[in-house]
Amino acid sequence: MIHRTFIAIDISEQQRAEIGQMIDTLKHTRSGVRWVRPENLHLTVKFLGDTDDASIVTIAAALNELSGKCAPFQIELRQISAFSSLKRPDVIWIGVTKSPELGALAAGIEQKLSLIGFKKEDRPYSAHLTIARVKNRRVTMKSMNNKRLCPTRPLAYAMCRRLR
């Protein structure tokens, strides 16, 4: 069987609720935007795409080896932004401050997965938490780029034990 696969860091229920409240605030200001439900919020580390069952077993073994070497750390979510541009966004996300620990984890995952046949990313890792996908091409980010809507404190991720 084939599965749409990615490696992600779970966030706590409290963090989901806090970000969910922020999404609820934004949800009423824009149509043509598909918002991520709070139970689906996560920090993607690597997108793998369509992956078969046998590969998932191999990936899990590689990640288990890596996660045993990783201690929990904190990251801080910052302003709302977008891919591909603020004028014509495709994806709305919350930015993550640079974290040496998260960067090392992402690099370790890239390295481990390249050894089992996955292509390394050409781009540097850009940590973010996706909160919406934009379907209406007339939506802009002008009124959404508001730091007051983002969490005001660092969010802790006890992460290497919670990779999914």
Q: Which CATH class for the 2-157 domain?
A: alpha beta
| Cβ within 8 Å of residue 135, ≥6 positions away | 32, 33, 34
| Mean pLDDT rounded to a whole number for the chain | 80
Alpha-carbon torsion 85, 91, 97, 99, what sign?
Answer: negative
Q: Which of 17-31, 40-54, 99-113 has the lowest mean pLDDT?
A: 17-31
Mean pLDDT of all residues in 30-50: 88
Tell me the mean pLDDT in the region 20-35: 80
pLDDT tens readout for residues 118-137: 999 988 888 889 998 888 76
The burial of 125, by beta-carbon neighbours within 10 Å (0-12 exposed, 13-18 middle, 19 or more buried), is given as middle
| pLDDT tens profile 80-104 | 888 887 778 888 888 888 888 889 9
In this predicted structure, the answer to whether residue 147 has a pLDDT above a threshold of 50 is no
Say which of 18, 105, 128, 132 is annotated catalytic: 128
- Give yes or no: 28 in active site: no
**Domain residue spans in the chain?**
2-157
> Among the options 42, 106, 157, 159, which is catalytic?
42
Average pLDDT over residues 109-117: 93
**Active site (annotated) includes residue 3:** no
